[in-house]
Amino acid sequence: MARSNAANIVVLGSLNLDLIAQVTHLPTAGETVLASKLEKRFGGKGGNQALAAARQGAQVNIIACLGDDPEGRDYRNHLRRENINCSSLNTIRGSTGSAFISVDALGENQIVVIPGANAALTAPSVKMQRSRIAVAKAMLVQMEIPLDTVLAAISIANETSVPAILNASPIRTDFPWGDVTIDVLIVNEKEALQIFELTEAAAIQSQLSCKGIRQLIITRGDKSTQCLTKITVTEVPTHPITPVDTTGAGDAFAGAFTAHFAEGVSITESVKWANVAAALSTLQLGAQEGLPHRGDVQSAMTKLAIDQA
């Protein structure tokens, strides 16, 4: 499974300080739940996905914003330690983004995000990074930053023939599908239903072209991951695991997928790697702590192949 050169990719997105509360069960509306522990971790979908890609061997350039607070300084140093290029990482006056996360005994979670400095990642600031995006093998972006910024980044990728990979999370009902071209859209089942208002693969396929989507990936928890184009539907089995914390599993998938896809690997093979990376990421508490390295994923894939032989 070894490949030669690591791919240069751009990840554009949010950086948050995560405050994680461990609870016996997630609160319902109006309910107060006592937490057994509170931890502070680095998170945000942009940071998580950048780290996931870097640990799979990609050369990652991150385009994002931090506050000038201690959390922002700590986060920048953290990314540098992970060999992520921070030359396009801006610092503004104010607070770094944050998120409040509750995790229950089964590993399920609820998340509330406060944008902070992430709101300062504007379309004009991204347009200044055109040359950085233009030389990348792929660009990965999510939806925890302003919508205009997302669209500006995808437009630049389209204009410079760089594959644009969008993880449409958290979902935006006002996203102008069809205005830009998305080479690979990554969503979960719930997000897919909100975008297409359909669940049947054939019906979804008929909408891809008009929505500007070339390839669609739908993650479905422990069920097989679906890969759709206008004419094909492929299902890729997930990796069997008992999760400790599912926070960031989707980010682990998106980052790992982009790292391998940017190396020129097929979409199906890239999803295989991403499925295993996402599964392994759930074995530790926190969105980034459990993100596996390339060797960990390769070992798990090899072991599974041996066990199934």
**Dihedral sign of CA atoms 195, 199, 201, 204 in order:** negative
SS3 86: coil
**Of 282, 249, 255, 214, which Cα lies nearest the Cα of 56?**
255
- CA-to-CA distance for 254 and 267, rounded, in angstroms? 12
* Residues acting as catalytic residues: 251
- CA-to-CA distance for 308 and 86, rounded, in angstroms? 42
- CA-to-CA distance for 69 and 76, rounded, in angstroms? 11
Kindly provide the b/e burial profile for residues 127-153, where b requires at least 16 CB atoms within 10 angstroms of the residue's own CB. eebeebbeebbbbbbbbbbbeebbbbb
- For the CA atoms of 165, 8, 282, 303, what is the dihedral angle to 10 degrees? 110
Phi, psi for residue 167 in degrees, rounded to 5: -95, 100
With a CB cutoff of 8 Å and minimum separation 6, the contacts of 140 are: 9, 10, 11, 12, 13, 49, 53, 165, 166, 167, 254, 255, 258
For residue 109, how many other CB atoms are within 10 A of its CB?
A: 19
Strands 89-92 and 213-220: unpaired
User: Could you tell me where the DSSP H helices lie in the chain?
Assistant: 45-55, 70-81, 123-127, 130-134, 147-159, 189-196, 201-208, 249-261, 267-281, 294-308
